[in-house]
Structure 1
Amino acid sequence: MILIVDDKSENLIALKKILETHNFSVDTALSGEEALRKVLKYPYKLIILDVQMPGMDGFEVAEAIVGYSKTKDIPIIFLSAVKINKQFISKGYLSGGRDYLVKPIDPDILVLKIRTFIRLYEQTDELNRIQQALLEEIEYRKEAESKKDEFISIASHELNTPLTSVKGYLQLAEKAFEKDNKDGIRMYLDRTKTQLNKLNQLVADLLNTSKIVSGKLEYHFKDFDFEPFIESAIDIIKQSYPGKNIIKTGRANVRINGDQMRLEQVVLNYLTNAIKYSPNSNDVFVEVTTPSPNKVTVGVRDKGIGIPKEKQQQLFDKFYRVEESSNRFQGLGMGLYICAEIIKRHGGNFGVQSVEGQGSTFYFTIPVTKKTV
């Protein structure tokens, strides 16, 4: 449910009608004091708060809401028709607001923002529940310490990539909003939605702890075009690491039958590792080839620290980390193990070619369903 707070009833009626047209459940409050009473009584997913009100103004109401442990995570959007200079906008964010909109507002943009913030709130709430479930599970699994560590490591690693992407796309949407770039806002919010859907699927997997501990993640196979898939994965990394040059060579106009989200995890892991382990180079290369008509290979090459030959065979083992680099680079040693399991499930193979001090190429090959035009 959404709570709209405004001291003018005509504003409440107009905004309530807009939101209910888009199937939102809406409640209203005519003062800050009434809003605080309702916030403590009912579970709201978002609050739209007018800045100028008699008694408690919007900033004071927001500070009070953020101060309650029960309500501190509820996203707040400020609306103002008068206080639109930088000082008041900054005060809105400092008071706990997630956004500051100036009247008159574009209903389409407002609805897009509301949907995004509600999804983020729901994901945060879900992750909090998962965290509590994990704490309870850890207490139960003290007799199986190694399995507990494995579970937490996989959970942390798999959730990190979509969360980072969500943050990056929201920052870009905010910049587009400042420039009144509506097309840009919609594009970045759509990309945020895509990443949140991926995160939601990962959360669903994590809730089934028995499958995670045993390594039996759920897969959803379907046909998809390879080129848009690989370009999308590269774009995610470009947005997350704007200072890096991701250079793609080769093209494969083919269709794949597989779990697109899981395979994207592999590509993103390869790319983030390439960036991580080549701190003195800004270039990372994605090389796409078709070694045979029924196979496609993706190689990610960097100019980084490289890996000693005697260590390369163990890189895809569970928890393995190269001792020489473990003190310089953080990591749990789970990423490549997860990648290996995903590629195996797709009937493919994987490997690494590396020369110490010169760089590495991590690759995988998977079957092709058919060629496309």
Structure 2
Amino acid sequence: MILIVDDAPENIISLKKVLEVNGFEVDTASSGEEALKKILKKSYVLIILDVQMPEMDGFEVAEAISGYSKAKETAIIFLSAAIANVNLITRGYSSGGLDYISKPVDMNILLLKVKTFYRIYEQSRALNEMQTKLLEEIEFRKEAERKKDEFISIASHELKTPMTSIKGYIQLLERSLDKEDLETTRIRLHKVQNQVEKLNLLVADLLDISKIESGKLKFNKKYFNFDKILDHIVEIMQQANPKVKFIKKGGIDTEIFGDEMRIEQVIINFMTNAIKYAPDSDEVHLTAERRGDEIYFSVRDFGIGMAKEHQPQIFDKFYRVEETSERYQGLGIGLYICQEIIERHEGKIGVNSEPDEGSEFYFTIPLHPEMDAKP
């Protein structure tokens, strides 16, 4: 938009008409004071400013505009009926003007200058937008690089821990075998098996991440008994964690359509996290219910919980709650994989949690989704 500032109505009318005929949007002010009020409220690409005005001349208006952060980059063209001299032109430039036209105005020259300033403005705006986008992209590259480095560091540490344990237990096994101490050998073999399973799960998660990123995470959907696989999982988890009591509530009591192995993967992740983040608790509550045309499943622990600000991000890839990252190991990809699995079942996943009061992770999936759902 162009602002014309002139105390002579006839000048405003003629300039406004010519500019509007040529497709420019025009606003007007009949005094310096009125112009300053408008500049505070609106943004202008160009101000055509008369020099000789009563009370506040054009130079004073320009100097005032230069103090407004909103308008200090706005181009100003001075109009003057006085004969142009060096002093006048010098004052015009020093007060913030970029050009000068004498009255009577040659409309062709004015239009040429207005179009030039508009072209410069559009080019400047395009450059600023490009610069902003470039800076955003650079920050996104930097953040992605930081997350990648952090992930590699965490992954290396997580993989190294069970490998170190396995190596240590094997050395102890050799001593037990030398002593023919079968009971100790059996205990240490069990510990090696636990570490191998932990290593297997870590590798499986890393492979799943790679498959998700490449769009190759496969699903084998069919009807299966949800309660049956839940009982099986609880039995295995109970054997591995004899000190924890798993309390089941409700049941589905019908077959559901989905990938049995992937749903089992989500349930095990929820239960493993419940044990991991509630080390001082001896209870984990499991709820399975049929709610209309969908099933609801949740795992409730009574552990450390988490603050509200973390909950929307907890399913993001590589996200880990900073306060717990040092105390509790993990890659920050398990829940991300769970979210992908549930969404591929046309379901929803979420969490309810309070600090120091525990967390409840849940998912819902439809009982009978369309058979032509994503494979």
TM-score range, shorter chain: 0.3 to 0.5
Which has the greater radius of gyration?
A: 2
